[in-house]
């Protein structure tokens, strides 16, 4: 029985080692793509393109840099997850192969910490989403006011050249262009004095199709678009998270069982 369980545990961890290597490979490719892509490759993620011989606007360059930064961040995140998965899984299968209780108990402790962190992050995410959602499904007034007042300053304020406001402006532009939306809960957010803190009749170019203000403005708020996207993704994300959590708990139970069995039988090495 112990040999069967040990074999399954080794196979389980070797599988996760392979998954970790895949994550590292994908992350490295994403970073390489972000560093070596030309302007049109980067803009392609936003459905944009610069024609040959045309002048590249500062906004277009900013969008390209934002995409590059996002690719580098995603790549770094994947590599980090891949390395963590690889080393934790290696600790597991190596401990089982060598019948080393220290490695197996270390594996169990690390996995317990991982599961605890996942639970905390899940609770924090649920509480945060509950807090920022108003009774109608819109963002709460406080959050909307904070974002819109800062957004107004980022576009038209007298001190809109700070790095923080420039980053917020880029975020609004990317969200409004890719989501074909405007404002947070509605396009009228931009002209709501109680939200932006000023009398305003202007809208960002990104609120209009092709950034042409002669076109009809996108009336739908971006929060609705974001929620629709999250709704489509939530099922897959929840299923993946639950599956990983079950596998992690399974790994903890098996590693503790093997370590205790080996310790009782005296079949282990001291290091």
Q: What percent of the chain has pLDDT over 90?
A: 3
Angle at 42 between CA 37 and CA 43, to 5 degrees: 150
Average pLDDT over residues 75-91: 88
Q: Across-strand partners of 151?
A: none
172 Cβ contact partners less than 8 Å away, ≥ 6 residues apart: 151, 154, 155, 204, 206
pLDDT tens for each residue of 178-201? 888 898 888 888 988 888 877 878
- Structural domains in the chain, CATH included, are 2-132+224-265 (no CATH), 141-220 (1.10.1450)
Split at pLDDT 50, 70, 90, the class of 163 is low
Instruction: Please tell me the pTM assigned to this model.
Output: 0.58
Q: What percent of the chain has pLDDT over 70?
A: 74
What's the pLDDT score for residue 220?
87
pLDDT tens for each residue of 118-158? 788 777 776 766 665 555 555 667 777 888 888 888 888 76
pLDDT tens for each residue of 1-52? 678 888 888 888 888 889 889 999 998 988 887 777 655 555 554 555 555 5
């Amino acid at each position: 029985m112990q040999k069967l369980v040990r074999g399954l545990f080794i196979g389980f961890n070797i599988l996760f080692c392979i998954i970790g290597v895949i994550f590292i490979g994908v992350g490295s490719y994403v970073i390489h793509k972000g560093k070596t892509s030309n302007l049109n490759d980067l803009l392609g993620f936003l459905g944009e393109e610069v024609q040959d011989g045309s002048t590249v606007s500062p906004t277009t360059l900013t969008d390209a840099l934002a995409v590059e930064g996002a690719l580098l961040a995603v790549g770094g995140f994947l590599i980090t997850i891949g390395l963590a998965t690889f080393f934790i899984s290696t600790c597991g299968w190596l401990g089982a192969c060598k019948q080393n209780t220290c490695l197996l108990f270390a594996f169990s402790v690390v996995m317990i910490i991982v599961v605890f962190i996942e639970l905390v992050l899940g609770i924090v995410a649920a509480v945060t989403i509950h807090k920022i959602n108003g009774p109608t499904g819109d963002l709460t007034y406080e959050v909307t006011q904070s974002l819109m007042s800062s957004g107004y300053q980022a576009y038209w304020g007298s001190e809109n050249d700070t790095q923080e406001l420039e980053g917020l402006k880029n975020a609004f532009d990317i969200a409004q262009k890719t989501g074909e939306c405007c404002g947070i809960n509605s396009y009228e957010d931009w002209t709501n004095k109680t939200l932006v803190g000023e009398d305003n009749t202007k809208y960002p170019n990104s609120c209009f199709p092709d950034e042409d203000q002669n076109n009809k403005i996108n009336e739908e708020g971006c929060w609705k678009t974001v929620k629709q996207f999250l709704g489509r993704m939530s099922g897959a994300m929840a299923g993946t998270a639950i599956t990983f959590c079950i596998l992690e708990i399974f790994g903890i139970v098996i590693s503790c069982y093997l370590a205790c069995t080996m310790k009782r039988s005296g079949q282990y090495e001291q290091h």
